[in-house]
Structure 1
Amino acid sequence: MPKNALTTLPSTASVEQVVEVIERDGGVIIAGFISADILADLQAEIDQALDTSSFGHENYFVGTQTRRASRLFARCKHMVDVVLHPLYLGAARKILQKPVDVWFGQDRTTITPQIQIGMTQAIQIHPGQGKQPLHRDDTSFLWRHPHYGREARLQIMVALTDFTEANGATKVIPGSHKWDDERCPMPEDTVNAEMAVGSALLFIGSTYHGGGTNSTDKPRTGLTMGIDLGSVRQEENQYLSVPFDTLKGLPSEVQRLLGWDAGENFMGWVEKGGKMMSPHTFLESDNVLHALGLVSADD
Structure 2
Amino acid sequence: MTILTRIANRPDALADVIAVIDRDGGVIVEDFISQETLAALKQDLLPLVAAVDTGKDDFFGKRTRRLSNLFAHTRHCAGIVTHPLFLEAAKHFICVPRKVWSGDEQMTSSCDVQIGVGQVIQIGPGEGAQPIHRDDGAFMWSRSYGREARLQIMIALSDFTRENGGTLVIPGSHKWDDDRPPVMSDVVSTEMKAGSALLFLGGTFHAGGQNRTSGELRTGLTIALDASNVRQEENLYLSLAPERVAEFPEQVQRLLGWSTSGRSLGWIEIDGIQSDPNELLARLNPASAAALA
Mapped partners of 1:45, 1:139: distance in 2: 31
- Aligned counterpart for 1:199 among listed residues 185, 196, 201: 196
Q: 2:9–2:29: 8 Å Cα contact kept in structure 1?
A: yes
One-letter amino acid of the counterpart of residue 258, structure 2:
W
Summarize deviations over 1:148-175 as a string: whole Å, max 9, x none: 1100100000000000000000000000
- Does the Cα contact within 8 Å between 2:71 and 2:77 map onto a contact in 1? yes
Conservation of the 8 A alpha-carbon contact between 1:56 and 1:64: yes
Q: In structure 2, how many angstroms separate the alpha carbons of the residues matched to 1:265 and 1:6?
A: 39
User: Structure 1: which 5+ runs fail to align?
Assistant: 289-299
Partner of 1:26: 25
1:273 positional shift: 4.0
Deviation at 1:287, TM superposition (A): 9.0
What is the identity percentage for the equivalent residue pairs of Structure 1 and Structure 2? 48
In 2, distance between residues paired with 1:245 and 1:51?
27
Task: Report the equivalent of 1:7.
Answer: 5
In the alignment, the residues of structure 2 paired with residue 181 and residue 8 of structure 1 have an alpha-carbon distance, to the nearest angstrom, of 28
Give the counterpart letter for 1:100 in structure 2: R
State the secondary structure of the residue aligned to 1:77: coil
Specify the alignment match of 2:41 in structure 1.
42
Aligned equivalents of 2:282, 2:181: Cα separation in 1: 49
Amino acid at match of 2:109: I
Gaps of 5+ in 2: 287-293
Counterpart of 2:119 in 1: which secondary structure?
A: strand
Q: Over the residues paired in the alignment, what is the CA RMSD in angstroms?
A: 1.4
Number of the residue aligned with 1:228: 226
Counterpart position of 1:91: 89
Partner in structure 2 of residue 67 of structure 1: 65
1:109: how far off? 1.4
The CA distance in 1 between the partners of 2:154 and 2:48, in whole Å, is 17
Q: Secondary structure of 1:285's partner?
A: helix
Q: Secondary structure at the match of 1:40?
A: helix
2:129 aligned residue (123, 131, 144): 131
The 10-residue stretch of structure 1 (266-275 or 110-119) with the greater mean CA deviation from structure 2: 266-275
Deviations 1:153-207 (A, max 9, x none): 0000000000000000000000000111111100000001111110000000000
Q: CA deviation at 1:53?
A: 0.8
Structure 1 stretch 205-214 or stretch 235-244: which is displaced more?
235-244
Task: Please state whether the residue corresponding to 1:227 is helix, strand or coil.
Answer: strand
Residue aligned with 2:28, SS: strand
| Structure 2 residue aligned with 1:293 | none
Query: TM-score by structure 1 length?
Result: 0.92
TM-score by length of 2: 0.94
Report the residue type matching 2:223 in the other structure.
M
Separation of aligned partners in 2, 1:49 and 1:232: 29
| Kept in 2: contact 1:122–1:221 (CA 8 A) | yes
